[in-house]
């Protein structure tokens, strides 16, 4: 008798709370993976950055020594400077993507084919983009090199020039990034309300004013997404640097993520602690942007946008 | 890489399971051979298995670059019995971390201190031997004979002749010295020779071991000799964007005359169409006649891991690999030089012959290579400095100060 009653009670408890519990049960696998692969490693990085460790032998606690060295390391400042150049110049992808999207947003025969051609660089792997541009810039046989040689008499090997190399890599990165922003804007343009445009036209709005006051406000969600993916893309610009220059010549094209990899994991890198301290700095920089984005999203949601 | 590793592990597990039926003992061996050396190693493996029917060598090949990073993982996670690596300071991190096994007994019992004498110093840490070397190759200057004819100059005897030739090459529109430093290490070959020829072997090793300041006047003297090539623009421009194979193409095409390289480059030159009639080899010319001639000859090695399941049979294989017959076989396949002094050297290959004569008459000492003699961190930052010097020679003082700062940190 008593047995049956507890059974009934537990069943009813489950029934009563089913609705409340279900979302958490569905969340558990995602949360576990997020904890194991993202949250816990973040704290591990903080922890490891206090050690001198080659990844094989004994860890040795050195406190903030890694950071002290980092702030006295020219290579770190070069990487930081390059990261800032990346952030600023990568933003060009947003207006350029918008321009192309507006240009392609018309009804002509075969427009789908043109759109997919413009979208193509985003589909291919970053490694392929890097290789294509590396050959494009290659001294003696690269198209770009030969073009400059024809025009000015002497070729410029972009990837061997410490002052130009970062710009050369960013140009390669912009190619797929512009395509990405373009796709975001193209979908956004589909959602633009034709009646508002009609109304604006009746009020004699056209050209830039039409774009600025009527179209762009309606594209706000697309612009937000484009800025977010571009900022993140700029900060994790690792693959192109690795493929095109390997950080060279003599480290002048390094970015923080690449420097971290080099110190901790590459052929000559045996410094887990130092690598982790670079990762921590990169994380803090990213946190500034990430909190900004999250704050804006929460704010929008509250306003019911 | 990881997928290859896991496939190999499961493959080995399957083979190990089936082998145990036949009462065979298994030795797991991980290596990173190119196709030709791989063939040579497989010949040795089958000869060893024939001589020892109760032992099965289970070999797994990795690609070169991937191997250099995955060795750190598999040594700690799931070590094989045998693993390829390199001599000198390059093996020090693994020796110091207790990942390689002391194989002094193999050296002692098989008289290897006699037969492999030339590689003994580079295999010894703390008076113990940590592996067995099976091949090495010389470095030197490979040159295009047609380019010499075109510029109307003779093969130089001395460093001054070499520099004088460079001016003639420049007039003829040919790069006197070519190199491709995108991967950094080719520049270290030039530095090593500048330093070995200016200051000698002892000083070079002291520098690599962190006992001498980088701002020392003798280091500056070596760079001053190097500047004789850099400042007039005798070295291929844009080398920082070139791979070493790209620079090899310039030599093949006759756009460059000389290339400071290792003997493995001969295969690339010949693939490009050069023959023994157009490709020449000379030792790096003497700069300071007062220092005994030292050469650069990196040694490749095989090690027993500390976590080996079957160390006894693994050591048996090392002893076999050290024999004159085995070293003759594998070096014939690779086109390199055996370490064992009784092994035969390919007589019909002029470059191998030249290398053998060069190295067997070296009185100064044999260096491994900058990235094997110096610790990894120092090697990396040093090679970046060498590359920068060849692009911005006016920055020399800054470069040396940076290296000196790194030295203070790395060698504690």
Instruction: Clarify whether residues A87 and A225 are in a common domain.
Output: yes
pLDDT value at position A51? 92
As to burial, measured by CB atoms within 10 angstroms (0-12 exposed, 13-18 middle, 19+ buried), residue B376 is buried
Would residue B366 count as lying in a domain?
no
Q: Which of A249, A259, A266, A270 to mutate to test the interface with B (most CBs of B within 10 A)?
A: A249
Instruction: Clarify whether residues B121 and B45 are in a common domain.
Output: yes
Which chain B residues are closer than 8 Å to A268 by Cβ?
A: 371, 376-377, 379-380
CA gap B198, B218 in Å, rounded: 8
Span between the terminal Cα atoms of chain B, in Å: 35
**Does B371 lie at the interface with A, CB-CB under 8 angstroms?**
yes
Instruction: Clarify whether residues A7 and A101 are in a common domain.
Output: no
The reply to whether omega before A249 is within 30° of 0 (cis) is yes
CB pairs under 8 A between A and B: 82
Q: Which of B85, B92, B241 to mutate to test the interface with A (most CBs of A within 10 A)?
A: B241
8 Å CB contact between B276 and B162: no
Q: What is the pLDDT of residues B146-157, one digit of tens each?
A: 999 999 999 998
Residues 12-71 of B with CB under 8 A from A: 65, 68-69
Q: Which residues contact B73 (CB under 8 A, 6 or more apart)?
A: B5
Instruction: Clarify whether residues A29 and A141 are in a common domain.
Output: no
pLDDT tier at B235, thresholds 50, 70, 90: very high
Would residue A58 count as lying in a domain?
no
pLDDT at B2 over 50: no
pLDDT at B119 over 80: yes
For residue B33, CA distances in Å to B59, B60, B300 come to 11, 10, 11
DSSP bridge pairs for B235: B177
pLDDT value at position A14? 81
What's the CA dihedral at A83, A89, A90, A91 to 10 degrees?
A: 120
Instruction: Clarify whether residues A88 and A35 are in a common domain.
Output: no
**Pairing status of strand B25-31 against strand B55-61:** parallel
CA gap B55, B314 in Å, rounded: 10
Instruction: Clarify whether residues A138 and A42 are in a common domain.
Output: no
Supply the CATH number for residue A151's domain.
1.10.3720.10
Name which of A296-305, B102-111, B243-252 the model is least confident about. Answer: A296-305
**Does A268 lie at the interface with B, CB-CB under 8 angstroms?**
yes
Give me the domain span that covers residue B188. 139-296+375-410
CA gap A282, A80 in Å, rounded: 9
As to burial, measured by CB atoms within 10 angstroms (0-12 exposed, 13-18 middle, 19+ buried), residue A151 is exposed
Average pLDDT value over all residues in chain B: 88
On the CB side of B284, CA atoms within 13 Å amount to: 29
Instruction: Clarify whether residues B238 and B259 are in a common domain.
Output: yes
pLDDT tier at B38, thresholds 50, 70, 90: confident
Instruction: Clarify whether residues B344 and B382 are in a common domain.
Output: no
Would residue B17 count as lying in a domain?
yes
CA gap B134, B115 in Å, rounded: 12
**Does A94 lie at the interface with B, CB-CB under 8 angstroms?**
no
pLDDT value at position B3? 46
Using CB atoms, pick whichever of B76, B240, B384 lies closest to residue A56. B76
pLDDT at A78 over 90: yes
Would residue B365 count as lying in a domain?
no
**Does B372 lie at the interface with A, CB-CB under 8 angstroms?**
no
Residues 45-84 of A with CB under 8 A from B: 54-57, 69, 74
Instruction: Clarify whether residues B14 and B123 are in a common domain.
Output: yes
Would residue B173 count as lying in a domain?
yes
Q: What is the pLDDT of residues B316-333, one digit of tens each?
A: 999 999 998 899 888 888
**Does B165 lie at the interface with A, CB-CB under 8 angstroms?**
no
Q: What is the pLDDT of residues A5-18, one digit of tens each?
A: 555 566 788 888 88
What is the 8-class DSSP label of residue A214?
A: I
Instruction: Clarify whether residues A243 and A279 are in a common domain.
Output: yes
- Domains contained in chain B, number: 2
Would residue B369 count as lying in a domain?
no
- Domains contained in chain A, number: 2
Would residue B367 count as lying in a domain?
no
8 Å CB contact between A83 and A260: no
pLDDT at A23 over 60: yes
Q: Which long-range contacts (C-beta less than 8 Å, at least 24 apart) are formed by A125-131?
A: A126/A176, A126/A239, A126/A240, A126/A243, A127/A239, A127/A243, A129/A172, A129/A173, A129/A175, A129/A176, A129/A240, A130/A172, A130/A239, A130/A240, A130/A242, A130/A243, A130/A244, A131/A243
Instruction: Clarify whether residues A131 and A252 are in a common domain.
Output: yes
Instruction: Give percent of chain A above pLDDT 90.
Output: 47
Q: Which residues contact B121 (CB under 8 A, 6 or more apart)?
A: none
pLDDT value at position B5? 47
Report helix, strand and coil shares of chain B as percent, to nearest 5. Answer: 55, 15, 30
pLDDT at A105 over 90: no
Using CB atoms, pick whichever of A137, A139, A250 lies closest to residue B387. A250
**Does B171 lie at the interface with A, CB-CB under 8 angstroms?**
no
Supply the CATH number for residue B348's domain.
3.40.190.10
Which chain B residues are closer than 8 Å to A249 by Cβ?
A: 181, 240-241, 387-388, 391
**Does B181 lie at the interface with A, CB-CB under 8 angstroms?**
yes
Would residue B370 count as lying in a domain?
no
**Does A135 lie at the interface with B, CB-CB under 8 angstroms?**
no
Would residue B11 count as lying in a domain?
yes
Instruction: Clarify whether residues A83 and A216 are in a common domain.
Output: yes
Closest C-alpha among B68, B53, B59, B71 to residue B28: B59
Give me the domain span that covers residue A148. 71-303
Would residue A55 count as lying in a domain?
no
CA gap A155, A144 in Å, rounded: 9
Distance from CA of A87 to the nearest CA of B (A): 25
Structure tokens, A141: 């046989």
Q: Which of A54, A250, A264 to mutate to test the interface with B (most CBs of B within 10 A)?
A: A250
Instruction: Clarify whether residues B349 and B289 are in a common domain.
Output: no
Instruction: Clarify whether residues B104 and B85 are in a common domain.
Output: yes
Q: ipTM surpassing 0.95, yes or no?
A: no
pLDDT tier at A175, thresholds 50, 70, 90: very high
Name which of A249-253, B275-279, B331-335 the model is least confident about. Answer: B331-335
Which among A37-46, A157-166, A193-202, B262-271 has the top mean pLDDT? Answer: A37-46
Structure tokens, B49: 């298995």
Contact B72 A56 (CB under 8 A): yes
Instruction: Clarify whether residues A145 and A6 are in a common domain.
Output: no
As to burial, measured by CB atoms within 10 angstroms (0-12 exposed, 13-18 middle, 19+ buried), residue B300 is buried
pLDDT at B14 over 50: no
Distance from CA of A234 to the nearest CA of B (A): 23
Closest C-alpha among B26, B137, B142 to residue B86: B137
Instruction: Clarify whether residues A107 and A240 are in a common domain.
Output: yes
CA gap A248, A162 in Å, rounded: 8
Give the residue from chain A lying closest to B387, CA to CA: A250
**Does B410 lie at the interface with A, CB-CB under 8 angstroms?**
no
**Does B186 lie at the interface with A, CB-CB under 8 angstroms?**
no
Contact A267 B68 (CB under 8 A): yes
More confident call, B279 vs B73: B279
Contact B238 A69 (CB under 8 A): no
**Does B145 lie at the interface with A, CB-CB under 8 angstroms?**
no
CA gap B88, B123 in Å, rounded: 6
Instruction: Clarify whether residues B237 and B124 are in a common domain.
Output: no
Q: Which of B64, B182, B230, B240 to mutate to test the interface with A (most CBs of A within 10 A)?
A: B240
Instruction: Give percent of chain A above pLDDT 70.
Output: 96
Structure tokens, B390: 């060849």
Which chain A residues are closer than 8 Å to B371 by Cβ?
A: 268
Instruction: Clarify whether residues B38 and B171 are in a common domain.
Output: no
Instruction: Clarify whether residues B144 and B60 are in a common domain.
Output: no
Q: Which of A268, A269, A270, A274 to mutate to test the interface with B (most CBs of B within 10 A)?
A: A268
Instruction: Clarify whether residues B276 and B356 are in a common domain.
Output: no
8 Å CB contact between B333 and B240: no
Instruction: Clarify whether residues B173 and B64 are in a common domain.
Output: no
CA gap A290, A228 in Å, rounded: 9
Using CB atoms, pick whichever of B99, B240, B380 lies closest to residue A56. B99
pLDDT value at position A136? 92
Name which of A139-143, B11-15, B171-175 the model is least confident about. Answer: B11-15
Instruction: Clarify whether residues B292 and B303 are in a common domain.
Output: no
CA gap B242, A13 in Å, rounded: 71
For residue B29, CA distances in Å to B18, B131, B279, B317 come to 17, 14, 37, 10
């Amino acid at each position: 008798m008593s047995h049956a009653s507890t059974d009934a009670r537990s069943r009813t408890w489950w029934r009563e709370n089913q609705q409340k519990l279900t979302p958490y049960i569905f969340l558990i696998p995602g949360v576990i993976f997020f904890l194991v692969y993202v949250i816990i490693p973040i704290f591990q990085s903080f922890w490891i950055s206090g050690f001198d460790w080659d990844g094989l032998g004994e860890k040795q606690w050195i406190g903030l020594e890694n950071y002290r060295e980092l702030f006295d390391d020219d290579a770190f400042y070069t990487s930081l400077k390059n990261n800032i150049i990346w952030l600023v110049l990568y933003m060009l992808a947003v207006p350029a993507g918008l321009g192309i999207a507006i240009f392609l947003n018309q009804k002509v025969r075969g427009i789908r084919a043109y759109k997919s051609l413009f979208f193509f660089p985003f589909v291919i792997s970053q490694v392929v983009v890097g290789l294509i541009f590396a050959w494009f810039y290659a001294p003696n046989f690269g198209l770009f090199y030969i073009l400059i040689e024809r025009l000015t008499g002497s070729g410029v090997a972009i990837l061997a020039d410490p002052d130009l190399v970062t710009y050369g890599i960013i140009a390669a990165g912009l190619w797929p990034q512009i395509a990405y922003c373009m796709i975001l804007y193209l979908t956004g343009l589909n959602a633009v309300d034709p009646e508002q445009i009609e109304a604006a036209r009746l009020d004699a709005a056209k050209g830039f004013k039409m774009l600025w006051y009527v179209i762009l406000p309606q594209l706000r969600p697309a612009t937000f997404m484009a800025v977010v993916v571009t900022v993140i893309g700029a900060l994790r610009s690792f693959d192109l640097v690795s493929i095109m220059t390997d950080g060279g010549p003599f480290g002048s094209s390094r970015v923080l993520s690449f420097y971290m990899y080099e110190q901790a994991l590459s052929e000559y890198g045996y410094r887990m602690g130092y690598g982790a301290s670079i990762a921590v700095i990169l994380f803090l920089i990213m946190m500034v942007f990430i909190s900004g984005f999250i704050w804006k999203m929460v704010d929008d949601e509250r306003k019911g946008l | 890489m990881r997928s290859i590793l896991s496939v190999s592990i499961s493959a080995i597990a399957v083979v190990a399971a089936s082998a145990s039926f036949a009462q065979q003992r298994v030795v797991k061996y991980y290596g990173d051979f190119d196709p030709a050396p791989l063939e040579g190693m497989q010949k040795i493996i089958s000869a060893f298995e024939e001589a020892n029917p109760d032992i099965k060598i289970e070999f797994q090949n990795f690609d070169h670059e991937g191997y250099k990073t995955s060795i750190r993982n598999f040594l700690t996670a799931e070590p094989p019995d045998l693993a390829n690596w390199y001599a000198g300071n390059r093996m020090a991190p693994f020796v110091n971390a207790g990942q390689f096994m002391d194989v002094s007994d193999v050296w002692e019992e098989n008289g290897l201190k006699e037969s492999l004498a030339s590689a003994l110093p580079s295999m010894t840490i703390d008076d113990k031997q940590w592996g067995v070397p099976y091949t090495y190759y010389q470095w030197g200057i490979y040159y295009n004979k047609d380019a010499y004819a075109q510029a109307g100059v003779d093969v130089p005897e001395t460093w001054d002749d070499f520099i004088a030739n460079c001016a003639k090459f420049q007039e003829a529109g040919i790069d006197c010295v070519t190199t491709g430093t995108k991967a950094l290490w080719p520049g270290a070959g030039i530095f090593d020779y500048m330093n070995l020829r200016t200051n000698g072997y002892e000083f070079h090793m002291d520098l690599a071991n962190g006992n001498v300041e980088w701002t020392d006047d003798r280091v500056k003297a070596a760079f001053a000799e190097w500047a004789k090539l850099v400042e007039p623009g005798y070295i291929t421009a844009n080398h920082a964007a070139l791979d070493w194979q790209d620079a090899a193409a310039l030599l093949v095409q006759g756009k460059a005359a000389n290339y400071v390289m290792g003997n493995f480059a001969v295969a690339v030159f010949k693939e490009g169409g050069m023959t023994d009639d157009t490709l020449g080899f000379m030792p790096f010319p003497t700069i300071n006649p007062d220092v005994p001639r030292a050469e650069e000859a990196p040694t490749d090695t095989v090690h027993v891991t500390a976590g080996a399941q079957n160390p006894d049979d693994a050591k048996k294989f090392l002893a076999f690999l050290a024999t004159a017959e085995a070293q003759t076989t594998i070096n014939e396949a690779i086109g390199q030089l055996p370490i064992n002094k009784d092994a035969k050297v390919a007589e019909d290959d002029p470059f191998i012959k030249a290398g053998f004569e060069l190295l067997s008459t070296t009185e100064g000492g044999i260096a491994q290579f900058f990235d094997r003699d110096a610790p990894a961190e120092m090697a990396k930052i040093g090679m970046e400095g060498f590359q920068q010097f060849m692009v911005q020679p006016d920055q020399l003082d800054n470069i040396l100060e940076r290296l000196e700062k790194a030295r203070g940190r790395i060698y504690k």
